[in-house]
Structure formats: structure tokens, C-alpha cells
Amino acid sequence: MKRDLTVNLGNLLLSLSEITDIANPSIAQHQYRTAFIALEIAKNANASPQMLKNIFTAALLHDIGAISIEEKAALHSFVEMDYDLHCIRGEMLFARTPWLKPLAKIIRYHHRNWCNWDAPISDPTVFSAQVILLADFIERSIDKGKYILHQNEEITERVIELKDTVLHPELLDCFKDLAKKEEFWLDLLSPRLYSILLHEGPFQKIWIGGGGIATIAMLFSNIIDFKSPYTATHTSGVAACAEKLSALFGLTDLEVTLMKIAGYFHDLGKLVIPNSILEKPDKLTPAEFAIIKSHTYYTYFVLSSIGGLEPIARWAAYHHEKLDGSGYPFHCKANEIDSGARIMAVADIFTAIAEDRPYRAGMSKEAIYKVIRGQSDHNLLDAKFVDLLFDNYDEVYAYVREKQQTARSFYEDQFSNAANTGDS
Ligand SMILES: [Fe+2]
Ligand SMILES: [Fe+2]
Ligand SMILES: [Fe+2]
């Protein structure tokens, strides 16, 4: 296992931003393109380096509060709908993430029209929120089936019509300058956009360590869990269980932190699965289960593209693999599943059957033992870690429950009631 961990912040944010847009071709790259447009407009407006970082980060994650693929697709399509809900939820998610807290108001107001602000455009929050509103509008206006230089003038005209009401005139002047350059539009639709943002974005030289990664992983664990009330505390429980079992197994402090991060990320790929399948109360059809099987593929797909997170990618993404090779989707053999992944598999199944779901109560200790011991007896789970769990059952159970309770309080008291707390 690794002795130290650092990742490039741009690499981390770009890869994670992609997972929320990957599921539906109509929204693919929406946040990348919005971030690119926002960054270029802000540069044209001579924004400070710190402001560029803030705008880039907020734009890359601006729709984080849209919790289902269905909601994201609707937001993208200019249909009449309640835009406030995803802004309020996004604000809440940012506000509980220390490093992103100062950007929470930008997310809250990224759909607020200029005429509804009573603060000046020189206010950093107003300016940033207006830049993202403009960038989001431009991105959604692009007809993806048409060559970009055959539509850029029309898009520019549509944007200029928003002057004074929706957008501040100074911002539109910056955009008009930018819109003259074919290069801007060609970059925007370039298949190389990821690498442009990575190498020319504001984070190309910024690296973060385990604590910073854990903060962002926790944010994503909330997004994964809050997609559905059925699983609103699952990830918090798996992360806590993986953390506890690795500590009891005698891993170092750093390794325990990495396992907690892997736990937060283990179901990252569920962000690609439609809620209609995730929330189906009946047994899944084979066709639906085939879609579910992709979730750990996407967990791996995203995490393995973040330089430095390769072991975490395996520990997170192999939680449905079995020691006899019968798991999914990688069908790893026992020698390909290391201790971290074996612990995660035990943590996932234990948490899933121990936790209450809206449609059933959590299992008793005896029933949990029967299921999990049955799996190790059949060479599906590693007996060593099953023993570790049951030798320390009360301690592990109490720790998992405590962490899940914290997540549930936030979810029930604030997040799921977000629709009633808005002030527009
Ligand atoms: Fe939005
Ligand atoms: Fe958006
Ligand atoms: Fe899973």
C-alpha cells in the first residue's frame, strides 16, 4: 500500500465532474463546457487568479444539486420547471464541505437574473453567479448535431437579447469580444476539452493530499446517497465500516484514511444509473440488473483516471467481485482482489443488510451472521475479514450506526426538505 497520497486538484475535479454528465448524451460534457465558457469570460473580464479558481470550481460542479439523471436532462432542455430546487440543494452540499463553503452562494444563485439582484456586479458572488448563468445558457443553446461555426452567430444573438434583464451588460461585452474568436468555439466543442481544462485551467499546478481528497469524497458520497431516500445513508455506513475494519486489521493511519475515501467513492458509478431502476421496489428484471452491473465499472472508470488514486479505484470498484471469480463486472480472480477490496466487499454487504430501508428494517445480528458467514463458507468473501467483523461486532456496528445517523439528520432535516426552504 502507498505511503503518501497527492493528486492534482484539476484532475480530481474534472474526473468527478464528468461522472454526473456521463449518463445521458444530451448532457454529456455540460459542466466541462460551462466551466470552459465561464473561465474564458472571467479571463476576458480580468478576474483575479483566485476568482478564476472559484468560478472554475463552481462551474464544474454547478448542477451538483440536480440529483437524478431525469432532473439533469430536464434542466438542460429549457422546459418550464423549478430551477430553485437544484440550486438550494447544491448550496447545502457546498456549505457542508469546508473548502467549498465560500462558493455556496454562487451555486445558490446561478439561475438568478441580473434584474433580481440588489447588489452590484463588482460583488464577487454576483459576478461569479452571473458568469455561470451566462455560460450555462450558452452551453444549453448549442445544437450538438450541428457544426459549431454554423451556429455561433445565432447563439451570440440569442445571448445579447438577455442584456439588462437576465445578464449584466458588462458581462455581455466580455462575451462579445470572446465570441468573435473561432478558436473559442472550436475549443468548446473539441474532443480535447478535458485536456485543455486540465493543462490550461487554474489548477494545473495545484496538488492536494489525503485530507483534501477525503473532503471532496465525502461531498460525492452525499450526492450518491441523496439520489434516493432508499440509500440515503448507505455510503456513510460503508465508509465508516471500511475505516473501522482496516484500523482493526492494523493498517496505518494513512491506509485507513485511504480506505475511508474508497468507501465514500465505492458507489460513485450509481450517479450514472437512472433513479427509475435504483428506486424500483420490486425485483429487477435481467435487463435492469445488467444496467446496475455497470455502476462499479463507472466507479473504476472515473477513479482510475485520477493519477495517484489507482489503489483507491480498485478498493472502491471491486466491492461486488467474489473470490471465486463469480462477481461483477470485472470477474476478478482471488489473486487480483487485495486486502483493501476484500474489506470493502465485507463492509458493503454488512452495511446494506444491517441498515433500515424505507421498505424494510435492517436485519438482526443473527440474520446478518447467517448471510455473511454463508458467503465466506462458499468462497465469495474472505473469512479473515468476516471473522474480524464478528469478533468486533458491537464496536463496528455502533460506529457505523453513529456515522449513518449523522448523515440521516442532515438528509432528513435539510436536504430532502430543500424545496420548502427556498427564498428564490
Ligand atoms: Fe443549473
Ligand atoms: Fe447547468
Ligand atoms: Fe455497489
pLDDT one-digit tens code per residue, 125-181: 999 999 999 999 999 999 999 999 999 999 999 999 999 999 999 999 999 999 999
- Eight-class DSSP state of 55: H
Query: What residues contact residue 60 under an 8 Å CB cut-off, 6+ apart?
Result: 13, 14, 17, 31, 32, 34, 35
What the chain holds in terms of domains, given with CATH numbers, is: 6-200 (1.10.3210.10), 210-419 (1.10.3210.10)
* Neighbour tally for 318: CB within 10 Å: 25
What are 401's three cell numbers? 450506526
What are 154's three cell numbers? 445565432
pTM summary value: 0.92
Q: With the C-alpha atoms ordered 200, 201, 202, 208, is the resulting torsion angle positive or negative?
A: negative
Please tell me the distance between residue 319's alpha carbon and the centre of ligand 3 in angstroms.
Answer: 7
Residue 207, burial from CB neighbour count under 10 angstroms (0-12, 13-18, 19+): middle
Nearest of 68, 49, 65, 58 to residue 31 by alpha carbon: 58
User: Looking at 64-73, 127-136, 163-172, 382-391, which range is the least confident one?
Assistant: 64-73
Please tell me the distance between residue 75's alpha carbon and the centre of ligand 1 in angstroms.
Answer: 7
User: Looking at 74-83, 237-246, 384-393, which range is the least confident one?
Assistant: 74-83
Name the closest ligand to CA 21: 2
Give the Å distances, CA to CA, from 9 to 282, 373, 375.
41, 41, 39
Phi, psi dihedral angles at 138 (to 5 degrees): -60, -45
Query: What residues contact residue 316 under an 8 Å CB cut-off, 6+ apart?
Result: 262, 263, 265, 266, 268, 299, 300, 303, 344
Which residue type sits at 371? V
Name the closest ligand to CA 265: 3
pLDDT of residue 3: 58
Query: What residues contact residue 200 under an 8 Å CB cut-off, 6+ apart?
Result: none
Residue 275, burial from CB neighbour count under 10 angstroms (0-12, 13-18, 19+): middle
pLDDT of residue 279: 86
What are 54's three cell numbers? 472559484
Name the closest ligand to CA 109: 1
Q: Which residues pair with residue 167 across a beta bridge?
A: 163
- Eight-class DSSP state of 208: E
pLDDT of residue 318: 98
What length does the chain have?
424
Please tell me the distance between residue 285's alpha carbon and the centre of ligand 2 in angstroms.
Answer: 33
Can you tell me the distance from the alpha carbon of 234 to that of 264, in angstroms, rounded to the nearest whole number? 10
Please tell me the distance between residue 256's alpha carbon and the centre of ligand 2 in angstroms.
Answer: 36
Please tell me the distance between residue 331's alpha carbon and the centre of ligand 3 in angstroms.
Answer: 15
Phi, psi dihedral angles at 6 (to 5 degrees): -140, 145
- Eight-class DSSP state of 127: H
Q: What residues pack around ion ligand 1 (CB closer than 5 A)?
A: 63
Rg over alpha carbons for the chain, rounded to the nearest Å, is 22
* Neighbour tally for 288: CB within 10 Å: 17
Please tell me the distance between residue 222's alpha carbon and the centre of ligand 1 in angstroms.
Answer: 18
Please tell me the distance between residue 6's alpha carbon and the centre of ligand 1 in angstroms.
Answer: 31
* Tens digits of residue pLDDT in 241-281: 999 999 999 999 999 999 999 999 999 999 999 989 988 88
Which residue type sits at 199? H
Please tell me the distance between residue 301's alpha carbon and the centre of ligand 2 in angstroms.
Answer: 23
Nearest of 196, 78, 72 to residue 143 by alpha carbon: 78
* Tens digits of residue pLDDT in 11-54: 999 999 998 888 777 788 999 999 999 999 999 999 999 999 99
Helix ranges (H only) for 24-68 are: 30-44, 49-60
CA geometry: angle 24, 29, 31, nearest 5 deg: 110
State the pairing for strand pair 6-8/207-209: antiparallel
pLDDT of residue 87: 96
Nearest of 202, 262, 192 to residue 13 by alpha carbon: 202
